[in-house]
Structure 1
Amino acid sequence: MVTTPPPPVLNPQTWQWQDHTICYTVAGTGQPLLLIHGFGASIGHWRHNIPVLAAAGYQVYALDLLGFGGSDKPALDYTVELWVEQIKDFWAAKIQRPMVMVGNSIGGLLSLMVMADSPELTQGGILLNCAGGLNHRPDELNLPLRVVMGLFTKFVSSPLTGPFLFNQVRQKGRIKNTLYQVYCDRAAVTDDLVDLLYQPACDRGAQQVFASVLTAPPGPSPAELLPQIQQPLLVLWGEADPWTPISGSKLYQDQPTITFHPIPNAGHCPHDEAPDRVNPLILDWLATQFSPSP
């Protein structure tokens, strides 16, 4: 199966999971952190964060979820539960110590699920513009948009129209336009970033992954998961995110045990768009919770 390697600066490695090849990276020593990307992204999306966190005295792991990045893209039913299983097995194989999970978008939701389901694996969590579900729930969309999304999902899933539509969605120009919608700083939308999202979309099986994810159930909501979580949480939120608007962050701001920081002039991926502001917030919070290695 052809897959796309991440940028060489991240020193990619592979791990076999359920007969599938999974791409991951690890850097540094000390308290383990596990970074989980969002929909369509990969470990390369953390390229501005991994070196900084590792240099500060943490052992930083980042994992390509099955179906994305340099990991295999088999024909499966993709769900948040599948990825949670992958994350737990990766922890058992590679980390084996209580970790801090760091997740963007869907990666944030997966972090909450692992923290709630297997608290012994984690010491805390850091959420960046956490998704409310793998997909929008029908009641979250107004009627016209609900119909449009329903039709789009139907056509994307069709073996007749799905490949054509996916080929349109994955064009570099469309990827760049989408990034312009969710990044405030257009200078952060570089050719390297576009390639980071485009190349894995050319892998065999990528279209089937896309269709499966769009038709998958949304999974548990953060509101359902938060009451189960006892570990400390840092929540960072790009204020200009149109996909997960900051109005949805009130759920976290209402919790006295959660540290919350809005990130002005940043969108859905503040760790990539504004790493110079996000990295210090992460390191400051980690220092208050854990002692990094000297």
Structure 2
Amino acid sequence: MTASPTLPLAPSSPLSTPVSASPSASPRRSAIGTYTGQKLNWDWRGYDIKYVAYGEGPPIVLLHGFGASIGHWRKNIPAIAAAGHRVYAIDLLGFGDSDKPDISYTLEFWVKLIHDFWKTHVQEPAIFAGNSIGALMALMTLTTYPETATGGVLLNCAGSLNHRPEDLPGSLRFVMGTFSKLVSSKLTGPFLFNRVRTKGRIRGSLKQVYGNRKAITPELIDILHSPACQLGAQQVFASILSAPPGPRPSDLLPKVTQPLLVLWGEKDPWTPISAAGIYQKLADDPQRDVVFSAISDTGHCPHDERPEIVNSLILNWIKTALPADLSTRAKS
């Protein structure tokens, strides 16, 4: 999910032949399993971080987007683990059931948390997979700590944590700046946040960004709503809205040496497929190990909207793009 309010974006054309979401275009599949396991506790710098570790085999670390949590991966964890992987997922500090201290949040801060988690729990090169800002954090991890990663999976990768002022027209820059100040205010912040976090508002936002409306369920709304009602959630929201945008993917991608799988819901209004051109160019470059797939009738969160397609694409990519010993270990 994105940290900023929804902005009107111009429609765009797909950059590649999309993966069809229609049943006739896909092989027969069993029902999607849902992970409901208990979250574990990890102390990081005195803060309680929730995570899960499920399955055995080569590790995959799942990184959620803004406002989401481990539960957003509930349809992916069982399938990936069943294919022979150790799956880790984290509630990043400030999200899910992890602590929500009133501190300054940045992408670099979370990437340090992810690296410390890897050193403590994973301890071997892993695939880092993320959605939205989680994908951007995965990309940052691959470039900042290359020794930790065998590859990366980016799902509708965000271009930044927040909209960069220089990228916005003057009037919109003023609106965004004013909104950020109001949310950060102790007087108006709680009132505005209480309106943003209602189930009705969450449902409305999901209808804007989910291309597959059938995936918008009461369970999903609860996954997003419950953490927003916890102590400290409003301060986290305000901190993120005023945080620096972080690095641009275009600056990170030339530094990536690991294989990349880039998946994009082609109906995403927040990170439209027109913004994915840089990934498509890399996929067309025989010197780069990048695979790009657009997914039709899908929005900002392909892993939750079309889990059967995303799980299959990830597992097939692991078999073909990553070192043979990784695939062999996953099968054993």
TM-score by length of 1: 0.96
AA partner of residue 215 (structure 1): S
Q: Do the aligned partners of 1:10 and 1:44 also contact (CA within 8 Å) in 2? A: no
Whether contact under 8 Å (2:262, 2:291) holds in the other structure is yes
Is 1:52 the equivalent of 2:79? yes
1:266 aligns with 2:315: no
Q: CA deviation at 1:8?
A: 7.4
Matched residue, 2:248? 221
| Alpha carbons 1:184, 1:266 under 8 Å: kept | yes
CA contact (8 A) 1:10 1:47 kept: no
* Identical residues among aligned pairs (%): 57
Q: Deviations over 1:31-81 (max 9, x none)?
A: 100000000000000000000000000110001110000100011100011
Give per-residue Cα distances to partners, 1:99-150, cap 9 Å, x unaligned: 0000000000101111101100001000000000100111222222222111
Contact 1:240 1:264 in 2 (8 A): yes
User: Which residue is equivalent to 2:27?
Assistant: none
| 1:109 aligned residue | 136
Q: Which runs of 5+ in 2 are unaligned?
A: 1-33
Q: Does 1:81 align with 2:108?
A: yes
Q: Residue 201 of structure 2 aligns with which residue? A: 174
1:93 is matched with which residue? 120
Cα separation, 1, equivalents of 2:35 and 2:103? 29
Higher relative contact order, structure no. (Cα contacts within 8 Å, ≥ 6 residues apart) = 2
Q: How large is the RMSD of aligned CA atoms in angstroms?
A: 1.0
- The correspondence of residues 1-294 of structure 1 with structure 2, limited to 5 A, is 9-255=36-282, 256=285, 257=288, 258-288=290-320, 289=322, 290-291=326-327, 292-294=330-332
Query: What residue number does 2:19 align with?
Result: none
Where does the alignment leave 5 or more consecutive residues of structure 1 unmatched? 1-6
Counterpart Cα distance in 1 of 2:37 and 2:129: 17
Native 8 Å contact 2:35 2:74 kept in 1:
no
Counterpart of 2:261, as a letter, is L
Residue of structure 1 equivalent to 2:25: none
TM-score (norm 2): 0.85
Q: Deviations over 1:186-219 (max 9, x none)?
A: 1110001000000000110000000000000000
- Are the aligned partners of 2:127 and 2:149 in contact in 1 as well (CA < 8 Å)? yes
CA distance in 2, matches of 1:238, 1:145: 26
Q: Give the counterpart letter for 2:331 in structure 1.
A: S
SS at match of 2:271: coil
Taking a change above 3 Å as real, the CA distance of residues 272 and 241 of structure 1, as seen in their structure-2 partners, is: same
Structure 1 outlier segments of 4+, above 6 Å: none
More divergent stretch after superposition (29-38 vs 136-145): 136-145
Give the letter for the 2:296 counterpart: P
Q: Does the residue aligned with 1:259 lie in a helix, a strand or coil?
A: strand
8 A Cα contact 1:102 1:125, kept in partner:
yes
CA distance in 1, matches of 2:280, 2:126: 24
* Equivalent position of 1:3 in the other structure: none
Q: Which has the larger radius of gyration?
A: 2
Farther-moved stretch of structure 1 (60-69 vs 249-258):
249-258
Tell me the amino acid that sits aligned with residue 293 of structure 1: K
In 1, the alpha carbon distance for the partners of 2:94 and 2:297 equals 31
Mapped contact 1:46–1:271 kept (Cα < 8 A): yes
Correspondence for 2:22: none
3-state SS of 1:131 partner: coil
Which amino acid is the alignment partner of residue 63 of structure 2? Answer: I
CA distance in 1, matches of 2:98, 2:213: 29
State the distance in 2 between where 1:42 and 1:76 align: 19
> Contact (CA 8 Å) 2:35, 2:78: kept in 1 or not?
no
1:242-286 deviation digits (Å, cap 9, x = unpaired): 000001110111112210000110000000001111110011001
**SS, match of residue 147 in structure 1:** helix
Q: Aligned letter for 1:279? A: N
